[in-house]
């Protein structure tokens, strides 16, 4: 699983990295763990952090309620591909949004961006 060097690359690698987790049967646990580890990077008390914090809350809630755990070839229905794609979409959007908020708008700090990238690489790379 390739590690990302910045959040834009993390977004681009989301499908590849999450597919490996899906194939291994760990996608649900790893996505929830990613959200749990990333949440403290964006404290709720700071209003500008709500954008990323809200995406983390949505991703965590979706992952916890998402029944996908294994690759479809292991007796799972076709709708599991759609659920997998939603996981990928949320991770992609979260990483791309954080990249834009750091580099385009300076609305999150470089330290937050680096910390989020570290959590992404910890769980997905």
Residue 26 lies in a domain: yes
Residue 24 lies in a domain: yes
Residue 2 lies in a domain: no
Residue 41 lies in a domain: yes
Quote the pTM value.
0.86
Q: What is the pLDDT of residues 81-125, one digit of tens each?
A: 778 888 899 999 999 999 999 987 788 999 999 999 999 999 999
Residue 1 lies in a domain: no
Q: Which domain holds residue 113?
A: 7-124
Least confidently predicted of 8-12, 20-24, 95-99, 103-107: 103-107
Q: What is the pLDDT of residues 51-62, one digit of tens each?
A: 898 889 888 888
Residue 45 lies in a domain: yes
Share of the chain above pLDDT 70, in %: 89
Give 41-89 as a DSSP string.
GS-TTSGGGHHHHHHHHHHHHHHHH----S-GGGT--THHHHHHHHHHH
Number of domains in the chain: 1
| Distant-in-sequence, close-in-space partners of 6: CB < 8 Å, separation ≥ 6 | 99, 113, 117
Residue 86 lies in a domain: yes
């Amino acid at each position: 699983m390739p590690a990302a060097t910045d959040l834009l690359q993390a977004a681009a690698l989301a499908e590849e990295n999450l597919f490996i987790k899906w194939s291994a049967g760990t996608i649900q646990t790893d996505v929830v763990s990613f959200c749990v580890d990333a949440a403290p990077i964006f404290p709720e008390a700071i209003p500008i952090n709500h954008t990323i914090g809200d995406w983390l809350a949505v991703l965590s809630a979706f992952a916890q309620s998402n029944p996908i755990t294994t690759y479809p070839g292991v007796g799972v229905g076709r709708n599991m591909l759609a659920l997998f794609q939603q996981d990928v979409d949320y991770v992609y959007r979260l990483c791309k949004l954080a990249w834009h908020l750091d580099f385009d708008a300076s609305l999150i700090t470089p330290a937050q961006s680096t910390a989020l990238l570290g959590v992404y690489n910890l769980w997905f790379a």
